Structure 1
Amino acid sequence: MTNPIPVTLLTGFLGAGKTTLLNRLLHDPAAGRVAVIVNEFGEAGLDHDLIESAAEDVVLMPAGCICCTIRGDLAKTMSRLLVRRAMGELRFDRVVIETTGLADPGPIHHTLLVDPVLAPDFVLDGIVTAVDVVLGLSTLDRHAEAQAQVAMADRIVLTKRDLADDITLQRLEHRLDRLNPGAKRIIADNGVVPTGVLFGLSAMRRPMAHGAALDWLSAAPAPDPLAGLSGLPQPKAQITPLSHHASDDRITTASVTLTTPIAPEVFDLWLDTLVALRGQDILRMKGIVHIKDLPTPFVFHGVQHIYEPPQPLTNWPEGDQTSRIVIIARDIPQQDLDESLAMLGQYPEPETV
């Protein structure tokens, strides 16, 4: 397939408001032809008076959306949808997967990357996490799954804002700043958000504009010409720890900004070493990378040991050679992340004749 079908993961802890967001999406003709995969119809709370027709495990909605349950394996459910689409029985342009409230989105992302049937035809478009403003802080305090859902998000939707005071919102946003400072936040109005803000979040698509790629990687700080690393011959990199732990947070986020291209052997050694030693603890890694002697930068993105094929940014502005990489990890000490990223600011010694 020339253009893989974009997939959005909608996650959030129990009671965070995913049900309301889903129902609003199913009401909205502007969402287009969307296949919405939910775990159980009863859990999703679909408005059955909107059902146009039903067959087996698929429900068609008047707004153009399709809704189906996961009965067993997610990959099998998506494969069945793909077959029915190819046969002309169903029409959809994107997929939204609603995860269970206790689910870590990482394994679903992993499935999309490695499943031999799904990987050629589906691509992750973004992870959207719903966070209850009223109970968000206590949920993050008690549940590591909720921390992972927030840390992995490309976009965070704040729900039940009308039930919380300003101080509660400020405290929650401060906590979100520690867990995932790069994810843009949207306040839902009774479960309603503009349709477009949930889609088109990935930089792993072509063509990718300069501004959109930077927006995707918005956690990376702007380059600081005065910043440097101790012990290196020239100040070429800025390492920024983006998460200062609450006592119970297992999530660590850090980024690196380098203003000169990275030596290819340094980048390969760094990535191979990090993935080999701590790959199982990497929730997400993404970056815009300039490699020495390559004409254009590329974007890369992965989880744990699996990485999507890098995509070149052919329309990048001339003269901008800044590389930006963000790592979101679980149970990796901040110092270890910083020391790993510091490797990227080094250059191999020139060979002597």
Structure 2
Amino acid sequence: MKPQRIPVTIITGFLGAGKTSLLNRLISKHPEKRFAIIENEFGETGIDGALIASASNDIFELSNGCICCSLGEDFLFTLESLLGRSAEFDHLLIETTGIADPSSIIDAFISGESIQTRFRIDSVVCVADAVNMEDLMDEQLEVRKQLALADLILLNKTDSVHSDYAESLTETIAQISPMAKIFPTSFANIDEINVLDTNSYSCEAIEKSTLTFCAFDGSKAIVQKEPKMIMNPATKTNRHDITSEGFSFSGNFDVNKFGLWMQNFLYFNKETIFRVKGIMSFENTADQFIFHAVRGSFMFEVGKEWKDETRFSKLVFIGKDLSRTELETNLKQLLA
């Protein structure tokens, strides 16, 4: 029997947003879990020093049984070092650097076969700074990418801004990342929020978010309280350059045409296409296929059987300066 894959939660967010505070909150909230933690770097504001029991070769053992190490240049070596230790762990937390695009870390878990056999992404969590968010979104493309790639966004430090302003920020963030769940927090308090074991990269979650996005009537904005999601099949336009496009097609796609086009499309647009999700119907196949792409890598998972259901395909693209007309024209040429 294959060993159960270890879930991975990737924590991203710009400098000072509260990522390390979230790490400490997660450790405190889940004493039942044996975490392995990869931090961008150790410093005075890192993992609570009172928890560190011993340290060797840049790997820290915590008094609660967790393991912690720094994110080195060789990511695969870091993972192998953790797996090679006698201390077992059942959940991996990765804190990415605040000024970087987290897609390279996500991509490693999608494209790396050796990594996929031992790990699976549970979710990508972005901690957003309510005080500085608006300026950062204008000035830093990395901040917009971090939001666009997230499954769960914690709008932190809302105690330091007016409630109306926090509401406005939530709506702006939802335009950039329309399929993410957004929660307001203060001091990264997640007592009432499920951050772990959300299975956001599972076949079921991708199918659900794609159907919700593509089925939404753009004339009526869905606004939910905690979490808040705003969905629209048309272009999500804001003063920034990141938009989302949803497409629905009846009938089947040609699997060979689609695979070749998508591989080339992602390769040549990996700096501007952040994420793609979809439910696909291919000619001469009995099952749905769930599609997911981040950066230049993509994967298919077998979904449920079509049976007598009318066949369709739905795709959602999130990226920078998307051309809806161009995407639609190309996709139509891939139909069987």
Same fold (TM over 0.5): yes
Which residue number corresponds to residue 75 of structure 2? 74
Identify the range of structure 1 (96-105 vs 32-41) with the bigger mean alpha-carbon deviation: 32-41
Cα offset, 1:241, TM superposition: 3.5
C-alpha contact 2:13 2:146 (8 A) present in aligned 1: yes
Superposition pairs for residues 193-342 of structure 1, below 5 Å? 193=190, 194=192, 196-204=194-202, 208-209=203-204, 212-217=205-210, 220-222=213-215, 240-246=233-239, 249-264=240-255, 267-268=258-259, 270-272=261-263, 274-275=265-266, 277-308=268-299, 310-314=300-304, 319=309, 321-342=311-332
Matches of 1:219 and 1:142, distance apart in 2: 31
Which residue number corresponds to residue 127 of structure 2? 130
Q: Which structure has the larger Rg over C-alpha atoms?
A: 1
Report sequence identity in percent: 32
Cα offset, 1:291, TM superposition: 2.2
Cα offset, 1:315, TM superposition: 6.9
Matches of 1:223 and 1:17, distance apart in 2: 33
Cα offset, 1:108, TM superposition: 1.3
Tell me the number of residue pairs that the alignment of Structure 1 and Structure 2 aligns. 320
Local SS of the residue matching 1:262: coil
Cα offset, 1:195, TM superposition: 6.3
Which residue number corresponds to residue 229 of structure 1? none
Structure 2 length as normaliser, TM-score? 0.83
The amino acid that maps onto 1:17 is G
Mapped pair 1:90 → 2:91:
no
The amino acid that maps onto 2:233 is T
- Gapped regions of structure 2 (runs ≥ 5): 218-231
The amino acid that maps onto 2:12 is T
**Aligned with residue 152 of structure 1, among 144, 149, 157:** 149
Greater than 6 Å deviation, 4+ residue runs: 315-318
- Gapped regions of structure 1 (runs ≥ 5): 225-238, 349-353
Identify the range of structure 1 (290-299 vs 314-323) with the bigger mean alpha-carbon deviation: 314-323
The amino acid that maps onto 2:288 is P
CA-to-partner distance for each residue in 1:201-243, whole Å, 9 max, x for gaps?
Answer: 3344xxx55xx4444436622178xxxxxxxxxxxxxx93442
CA-to-partner distance for each residue in 1:53-100, whole Å, 9 max, x for gaps?
Answer: 43332223344432111243222211111122xxxx111112111011
Matches of 2:120 and 2:108, distance apart in 1: 11
Local SS of the residue matching 2:213: coil
Structure 1 length as normaliser, TM-score? 0.79
Distance 1:219 1:147, change over 3 A: farther
Which residue number corresponds to residue 232 of structure 1? none
Distance 1:159 1:70, change over 3 A: same
Cα offset, 1:275, TM superposition: 3.2
Which residue number corresponds to residue 173 of structure 1? 170
C-alpha contact 2:123 2:201 (8 A) present in aligned 1: no
Matches of 1:200 and 1:106, distance apart in 2: 19
Matches of 2:111 and 2:175, distance apart in 1: 30
